[in-house]
Amino acid sequence: MDIPPFDLPAALSMVQIDPAASGQPGVNLSESLVGVPGILARDRQNYAQDVQISIRGFGSRATFGVRSIRLYVDGIPATLPDGQGQVSHFNFDSADRVEILRGPFSVLYGNAAGGVVQLWSAEGTPVPVTTLGVNAGSHDTFRTSVDTRGTLGPVDYNVAGSLFLSGGYRRHSRVRRESDNARFGVDLGDGKKLTIVANRLNQPVSQDPLGLTRAQVDVDPRQVAAVAVQYDTRKRIEQNQLGAIYEQPLDGSDQVRVMGYFGQRNIAQYQSIPVSAQRSPLSAGGVVALDTDYGGLDARWTRTGQLAGRDVEFVLGVSADGQWQHRRGYENFVGDTLGVTGALRRNEDDNVDSVDEYAQWYWHFAERWSLLLGMRHDDVRFRARDHYVTATNPDDSGGVNYTATTPVLGLGFRPSDDLRLYASYGKGFETPSFNELGYRSDDRPGLAFDLRPARSRNLELGAKWQVTRALAFDTAVFRTDTRDELAVRTSQGGRSTYQNVGDTRRQGVELSLTGQLADDWQISAGFTRLQARFRSAFLACRATPCTAVSTPVSAGTRMPGVPENYGSLRIRHGGELGWNESLDLTGVGVVSVDDTGTDRAAGYGLLGIDAGYTFALGKGTRLQLSARVDNLGNRRYIGSVIVNDSNGRYFEPGPGRTWMLGARLVFH
């Protein structure tokens, strides 16, 4: 809806992407989220598994990719209908801003919307601008990029490409990533507009160093488990996607918007599943091969007008999304040779279709009061067709439907021109993903269709204060109660099965201060206090490996992967030319690593600094040189944890002191 962010009765943060603002290379989403409360993006130093992202505790259990959070690029979904997403194809060379929506209004985005992250590409500039960039630094890290944007007649364009190479902080963590993104805006006249977005990701090399046990971290945080080298654990990713958005006004008060997209994502992952575990006729092997086609359509109608002499806006829409996945499993050995593709052990089609209807209504019903109502109905259908049927491995085809209606309500109050108060409430739901449905707890083949979706109630109270025209302070108090929370049931041989464990609660407070402190001085600061607890007692695994739940988890136990306190600060000084400097502070509290609380990762604080100088080389041409140092104090710390890891390898150490040099040439 076209509501100014300041007036929206929800916690929404907008971060402008400015590659010239720091010496960071623009590879990971975590670089852009300094100072944003509520969201925690933890760089695993493992490009086979992607950045670990959680919002108010949602998503912390994801062992790979992004779970429980909806992702979008230029309004096009980057989350599949089953709720699994990834940010590896986010291209920051062409980006304009990142938006992070937290709280009750996230549920209007459908399944697994514990929060929403949207990356928006910049529009083409009236005068063509081309930027060439190069970065090099610690651990054989190298990145080169190019971005060109401009306007040709009725078409504005923004095209970017990059190559990223790194040997990795830990051994066996080498990566090669190629990323391309193109956005074209076509002015069709009479207010009609067509936006076309195409992106490509090719990651042919991404070694997986796996996690470490506590003892291994204490001896050498850069080492890898022996099985990582023994089985050459790694992942290969290729993704191509094309999307289009058409917008047209019908008259002075009506507008239609139609969005469509289609993509292909192919993955081959070599795991460290022991050969002995694959002897079972029901084993799916140690190599996962996924060929996924996905796509969808969204159509919405918007009407603006007045009701009782006050502004009102109404949106009505319908969307349909699908993923059609061919999943195969192979043994990860041939004879005595490990880490290769062996005999076929799994062959099935895993499909998900989602049809959703939604409506939103905004009414500024009094001079100081506004009301925002929303409703969404989701129908998500999982279907599996088994093509691997033998005398000892029966046909496991089947399916399950999940439906939910999720309302949301927001009330806003304007005490003054520079202050907004609001209260909002909404219900949400999250289906199991195919990753969680993938293995049954009774050791039989097929999908775990007995799992129920998690359903939540979300409440938020917030205030937004425009301290000055250039400085804003926001705060929000929130609580989310969830029933049928998903958690690990059994874990062995590199496989995890899941169960519904009853009720949980996530509650806390967020604070943020962003904007300009003085001429050429900017600040971005955010702090989150979060309590995430299991409210129902249940049985969980404790031994590694674990074949049956046996350890009691009492009500009140902390949920794993969620720190109680975290925050970050960035202070920057400088303008377009001459010197610019910035200082970053990041702090994360203690994190539990499993449901039973058997171990924890200590909290940490990190300091990063950078400096750069921008030269004017001539009319319209600038050269920026930069240098950056992260973890200036060379602290040893755990960057992220693998929740409930079946082998007790919970810990992913962060790098020590690292440096990065960069150069950017901009010319018109």
Q: Which amino acid is at 530?
A: L
Q: How buried is 340 (Cβ within 10 angstroms: 0-12 exposed, 13-18 middle, 19+ buried)?
A: middle
Q: Kindly report, residue by residue over 95-137, the tens digit of the pLDDT.
A: 999 999 999 988 888 888 889 999 999 999 999 999 999 999 9
Could you tell me the CA-to-CA distances from 60 to 405, 527, 647 in Å, in that order?
A: 25, 18, 19
510 C-beta neighbours (distance < 10 Å), count: 26
The total number of residues written for the chain in this structure: 668
Element (H, E) at 483: strand 471-483
The residues pairing with 642 across neighbouring beta strands, listed in sequence order, are none
DSSP reduced 3-state for 409: strand
Distances, alpha carbon 582 to alpha carbons 31, 529, 610, 655, in Å: 13, 25, 6, 20
User: CA 662 to CA 242: how far, in whole Å?
Assistant: 31
Share of the chain above pLDDT 90, in %: 73
Under the banding of pLDDT at 50, 70 and 90, the label for residue 149 is very high
615 compared with 83, residue with greater pLDDT: 615
Least trusted range by pLDDT, from 11-25, 297-311, 513-527: 11-25
554 strand-pairing partners: none
Rounded CA separation 347/389 (Å): 9
Q: Give the closest residue to 208 by CA, choosing from 588, 649, 543.
A: 649
Residue type for 504, please?
T
Q: What would the two tokens of residue 479 be?
A: 């609580």
Q: How far apart, in whole angstroms, are the C-alpha atoms of residue 429 and residue 173? A: 36
State the alpha helices, DSSP H only, in 51-189: none
Cis, peptide link before residue 394, omega less than 30° from 0: no
Whole-model pTM: value is 0.93
Q: Is 227 helix (H, G, I), strand (E, B) or coil?
A: helix
Contact between 129 and 151 (Cβ < 8 Å): no
User: Could you give the CA distance from residue 421 to residue 413 in angstroms, rounded to a whole number?
Assistant: 5
113's tokens: 């919307």
pLDDT greater than 80 at residue 487 = yes
Whole-number Å distance between alpha carbons of 637 and 566: 15
Q: Is the pLDDT of residue 70 over 60?
A: yes
Token readout for 339 is: 């880490």
Give the CA dihedral 554, 555, 561, 564, nearest 10 degrees.
Answer: -130
Question: Are residues 638 and 217 in contact, defined by beta-carbon separation less than 8 angstroms?
Answer: yes
Residue 166 three-state SS: strand
Residues 531-550 have a mean pLDDT of 82
Q: What is the DSSP string of 180-194?
A: EEEEEEEEEETTEEE
* 175 and 181 Cβ atoms separated by less than 8 Å: no
pLDDT digits (tens, 9 = 90+) for 387-403: 999 888 888 888 899 99
Token readout for 294 is 């996905």
Average pLDDT over residues 623-651: 92
Q: In percent, how much of the chain has pLDDT > 70?
A: 97
pLDDT of 497 over the 90 cut: no
From 88-92, 328-332, 603-607, the region with the lowest mean pLDDT: 88-92
Structure tokens given for 402: 């999940």
CA distance 140 to 646: 32
DSSP per position, 199-217? EEEEEEEEB----B-HHHH
CATH dotted code for 5-284+297-310+320-331+352-393+407-414+421-441+457-466+478-667: 2.40.170.20
Distance, CA of 363 to CA of 308 (rounded, Å): 10
Picking from 11, 25, 22, 86, the residue whose alpha carbon sits closest to that of residue 55 is 11
What is the C-alpha radius of gyration for the chain, rounded to an integer number of angstroms?
25
Check pLDDT > 90 for residue 441. Answer: no
- Angstrom distances, CA of residue 140 to CA of 168, 370, 587: 7, 54, 27
Strands 70-73 and 115-121: parallel
The two structure tokens encoding residue 74: 């230029």
Could you tell me the two tokens for 463?
């205030």
Strand partners, 295: 262, 322
The residue-averaged pLDDT of 468-477 equals 96
pLDDT tens sequence across 282-317: 788 999 999 999 999 999 999 999 998 899 999 999
What is the Cα–Cα distance from 352 to 434, expressed in whole angstroms? 9
User: Within 10 A of 219 (CB to CB), how many other CB atoms are there?
Assistant: 10
Report CA dihedral (331, 334, 335, 338) to the nearest 10 degrees.
-80
228's CB contacts (< 8 A; 6+ apart) are: 172, 207, 208, 209, 210, 272
192: pLDDT strictly greater than 90: yes
Is residue 490 helix, strand or coil? Answer: strand
Reference 278, options 338, 348, 207, 208; nearest CA is 338
* Mean predicted lDDT score pLDDT of the chain: 91
Grouping H, G, I as helix, E, B as strand and the rest as coil, residue 219 is: helix
